[in-house]
Structure 1
Amino acid sequence: MGNIYDTSIVNGTIVLEEQVVKGTIVIQDGRIAGILDENSTVESQKIIDAAGMVVFPGAIDPHVHLWEPSPQDYREDYKYGSKAAASGGVTTLIEMPLSVPPVIDSESFYLKKEIGDKNSVVDFALWGGLIPNSVDNLGEMHELGCVGYKAFISYANENYPHTPDDVLYKAMKNAANFNGLVGVHAENADIVETESKDMEQRGILNPESYPDGRPALAELEAMKRAILLAEKTNCRLHIVHMSVGEGGEIVRKAKEKGINVSNETCPHYLLFDKSILKEKGPFAKCNPPIRSLENKEALWEQIFKGNIDFIGSDHSPYTDKEKLEGKDNIWKAFPGFGGIDVLLPAMISEGVNARGLGLVELAKMISTNVAKTFELYPKKGAIKIGSDADLVLVDLNEEWVYKGENSFSKTKSSQGIYEGYNFKGKVVATMSRGTVVYENGEILEESTYGKFVPIQR
């Protein structure tokens, strides 16, 4: 008598690292134990019929803000944010370090980790903070398992100050000693600060003018500067939430020179152009801003050329009250919005169904490339024997309309950027380490299920 597995997923279309196959996935002790052809017969305690569905590796969102711990945790926290993640097919979220206190040493790291362990439905990894007073702590955070170190080249806030060039240079030299990854918010601080204030003082307050205050030039200059520093220090570099299509070519050329640099863009830059600012006002404000229709198409061109490594949601909810502070003056609105629950549906709807993006290419962009960049592979990021059974069952053809009131997020805006958006392609079920945590609109596991995932050494 053969093995009796914990779970079998049968009749699905399975997206592997290099091909798409029809077959069966067998799971034992939370890991993938086998990938069998569609005619194979196995015994399992539980059988999941995936007929008519595509089975993707669980999405890994590299850019998540949950605001916990901080006085602003009313916007989002691990309990609600991780449920939203599960509903969107995200099985591992990588959280940014901008809590209060930020994750800049062992004490703040363990504070954040304990909160995630107690409250996350899905697995999570942690960015470490790169601010002026944490530069000498990067090695310590590496030993604790942080995946990278986030710096703002632009101005940030009083709790998470801007990283000037000399500090970034020193940090990159330090990180290079242990092959650490430095991530940058790439906008020239002085350009965007001066341009934005000048426009506000001149009374240009309408939402659709917002991108002019944070021009593409500021982003491109900051990218090139960071890449030059990475080249000279031999440091691994990641460009977060790249909004400019031209940036893809900059990264491609850097890679051709042997510089170890990666980049991400976000669903909102791929679904919308700056006209959404006129429609949604402050609810569509983010940094960097959503740009022109031509720029949106340029980003898609870079995706199909392979010059964008992966997708991150930049999930950063604010309340309606906070957003409406910019109702009559766009410069006063808080920048950001939620989106972790639409990361995968957005790419299926607009990428696969509307533009013909391949399923293998999509799986790399939402999972495999992320796992490899942040050193979580092969535990995470692929459907392969021995990897965690993090899987997403998707109906590519189901059409649905996003409504904030149905989101699991703590902030349920009825005016948000995705409100009323028509998607084609829906997450049916999400499985984390062999356990179904979300299915057909319901969370099936407690908030203690998620585990911290350190870098894989």
Structure 2
Amino acid sequence: MQNELVIKNGLVLLEDGEVKTDVGIKEGKINQIGDALEGEKVIDATGLIVSPGMVDAHVHITDPGGGYRDEWGYVTGTAASAKGGVTSFMEMPLNQVPATVDKETLDIKYQAGENKLKVDVASFGGLVPFNLDGGIQELDDGGVAGYKCFLGSCGDPSIPGDFQNVDDYTLYEGMRQIAKTGKVLAIHSENAPITDKLGEIAMAKGATTLKEYVATRPAFTEVEAIRKAILMAKETGCRLHIVHVACKEGVEEVVKAREEGVDVTCETCLHYLYFATEELDDIGPVVKCSPPIREQSQQDALWKHVQAGNIRFITSDHSPCTPDLKDTDAMHAWGGISGLQNDVDILFDEAVQKRGMPLKQFAEITASHPADLYNLDQKGRISIGKDADFVLIQPNAPYTLKAEDLEYRNKISPYIGREIGAQVYQTILRGQTIYSQEIGVTDKFLGEFIKK
């Protein structure tokens, strides 16, 4: 059977492990896997790792901005995704204005991304106090792949249509409704009353450093919120996913609940596995996020949980902003990190090259596990019939990240200046090259919205 494209001679990460073989592609799908395949076009992957394109399950794009947050966007965000080897991502229902909470706002989001996507995008719908009267079902009908809510404080009350964190009743009733859809509720778990008050006290005392900021969001405030979410999941039968867990105690709560039969999983983010509290003030507010980056001992414990399989997958929690929102003291700076473009290269270096993670597990935590959780059934695996989405990784190829390397509209990232020990060589979406080191990012918009 003739292939339109063959990737030859690479070390291919299949479901049962890595093998040096060829992959044939036809009509955007994986058509054949085997030796000595022939095709109309050939990519020689000698010396490269051929991994499933990453599925980053936690990305904020902030388009449309509604006149409030217009300096973000799909064009540059999905270009960074392509350059970074992320062929699909799950987009959060905030920081867009209006937030994605019902049919009308979901349609506005789809319109905002029309002809602007360089990778495929699946959507979260929001759970907020003002969409319990039909909004949850409208989002399901509109094709969201999952739902998201905040227990920690979020949104700007002065902006009409901005996102809001849930109260206890909204969490309970929202879980009851979401359970009926069969989809997953992803939760930002922090105790808002405690962290907000600790933050107020710290600022009143003149706090300005990242170390002081971290102290206002202690680990127990994460754990308490995770316990509450798990209790509500037990009561409602809602499938549950805890996003960006930053402490070992939070992971332990998830492990315990799973052993008790609760359908709950968790993720952590690359920055929690890379940075530690002890170095934050030397870096500056560009590395501020919520939950905060904790001490080195927590990072070490998170890596152990990743390697043990207790953390289902890794995400970027990419949350860009304009430089002025970081150009202030730590207590007032934007709480988000731009990391989407460096998901694959840094994680491959840190997990595989430095810590010896098996390549099979690398493919699982970057692609198959997030695809499975959100039922992105054409994504996440190098398997016949799946979308022909690949990232070709050049191992043992160190480079130093520079601001001009970034595709972001606002070229800020805590990874600038860091030596990264691997590189993304080429990214392929449904059989089409969307990035290569030779030609850069494609000028075509080949991405699509994934509707479930």
Q: TM-score range by the shorter chain?
A: over 0.9
Gaps of 5+ in 2: none
Match of residue 10 from structure 1? 8
Paired residues for 1:25-424 under 5 Å: 25-36=23-34, 40-70=35-65, 71-98=67-94, 99-135=96-132, 136-157=134-155, 158=157, 159-326=162-329, 330-377=330-377, 379-413=378-412, 416-424=413-421
- Cα deviation, 1:185-240, whole Å, max 9, x if unaligned, reads 10000110011111111223222221100110100110111011011111001111
Cα 1:398/1:74, change in 2 over 3 Å: farther
Are 2:441 and 1:438 equivalent residues in the alignment? Answer: no
What is the aligned residue count? 444
Does the CA-based 8 Å contact 1:116-1:124 persist in structure 2? no
Kindly state the Cα deviation for residue 305 of structure 1 after the two structures are TM-superposed: 1.1
Does the CA-based 8 Å contact 1:246-1:298 persist in structure 2? no
Distance in 2 (alpha carbons) for counterparts of 1:335 and 1:107? 28
- Cα deviation, 1:149-198, whole Å, max 9, x if unaligned, reads 11110110121111011100000001111212111110000110011111
Kindly state the Cα deviation for residue 276 of structure 1 after the two structures are TM-superposed: 2.9
TM-score (structure 2 length as normaliser):
0.96
Distance in 2 (alpha carbons) for counterparts of 1:447 and 1:277? 38
**One-letter code aligned to 2:131:** S
Cα 1:255/1:28, change in 2 over 3 Å: same
Higher mean displacement: 70-79 or 85-94: 70-79
Distance in 2 (alpha carbons) for counterparts of 1:194 and 1:435? 51
Distance in 1 (alpha carbons) for counterparts of 2:439 and 2:165? 40
- Cα deviation, 1:320-375, whole Å, max 9, x if unaligned, reads 2111122xxx2111111210011111211111111111111011101100000011
- Cα deviation, 1:9-64, whole Å, max 9, x if unaligned, reads 0000000112111100000000001111xxx3332110000000000000011111
SS in 2 for 1:376: coil
CA RMSD of aligned residues (A): 1.2
- Cα deviation, 1:371-392, whole Å, max 9, x if unaligned, reads 0001102x00100000000001
Distance in 2 (alpha carbons) for counterparts of 1:309 and 1:172? 21
SS in 2 for 1:324: coil
**One-letter code aligned to 1:409:** Y
Kindly state the Cα deviation for residue 141 of structure 1 after the two structures are TM-superposed: 0.9
Give me the identity figure in percent: 36
Does the CA-based 8 Å contact 1:116-1:450 persist in structure 2? no
**One-letter code aligned to 2:371:** A
Does the CA-based 8 Å contact 1:117-1:448 persist in structure 2? no
Distance in 2 (alpha carbons) for counterparts of 1:75 and 1:349? 31
Distance in 2 (alpha carbons) for counterparts of 1:403 and 1:264? 28
SS in 2 for 1:311: strand
Distance in 2 (alpha carbons) for counterparts of 1:59 and 1:89? 6
Distance in 2 (alpha carbons) for counterparts of 1:239 and 1:444? 33
Distance in 2 (alpha carbons) for counterparts of 1:355 and 1:246? 22
SS in 1 for 2:422: strand
Kindly state the Cα deviation for residue 281 of structure 1 after the two structures are TM-superposed: 1.8
Distance in 2 (alpha carbons) for counterparts of 1:76 and 1:447? 19
Distance in 2 (alpha carbons) for counterparts of 1:271 and 1:119? 31
- Cα deviation, 1:255-279, whole Å, max 9, x if unaligned, reads 1111111111111100110123211
**One-letter code aligned to 2:56:** D
Kindly state the Cα deviation for residue 115 of structure 1 after the two structures are TM-superposed: 2.3
Distance in 1 (alpha carbons) for counterparts of 2:311 and 2:403? 29
Does the CA-based 8 Å contact 2:54-2:367 persist in structure 1? yes
SS in 2 for 1:142: helix
SS in 2 for 1:162: coil
Cα 1:42/1:304, change in 2 over 3 Å: closer
Distance in 2 (alpha carbons) for counterparts of 1:419 and 1:425? 15
| 4+ aligned runs moved over 6 Å, structure 1 | none
Gaps of 5+ in 1: none
Cα 1:44/1:72, change in 2 over 3 Å: farther
Kindly state the Cα deviation for residue 131 of structure 1 after the two structures are TM-superposed: 0.6
Kindly state the Cα deviation for residue 444 of structure 1 after the two structures are TM-superposed: 4.6
Distance in 2 (alpha carbons) for counterparts of 1:241 and 1:444? 29
Cα 1:75/1:307, change in 2 over 3 Å: farther
SS in 1 for 2:121: strand
**One-letter code aligned to 2:28:** G
Distance in 2 (alpha carbons) for counterparts of 1:69 and 1:394? 33
- Cα deviation, 1:383-421, whole Å, max 9, x if unaligned, reads 0000000001001111011112210111112xx311111
Higher mean displacement: 404-413 or 363-372: 404-413
Kindly state the Cα deviation for residue 309 of structure 1 after the two structures are TM-superposed: 0.4
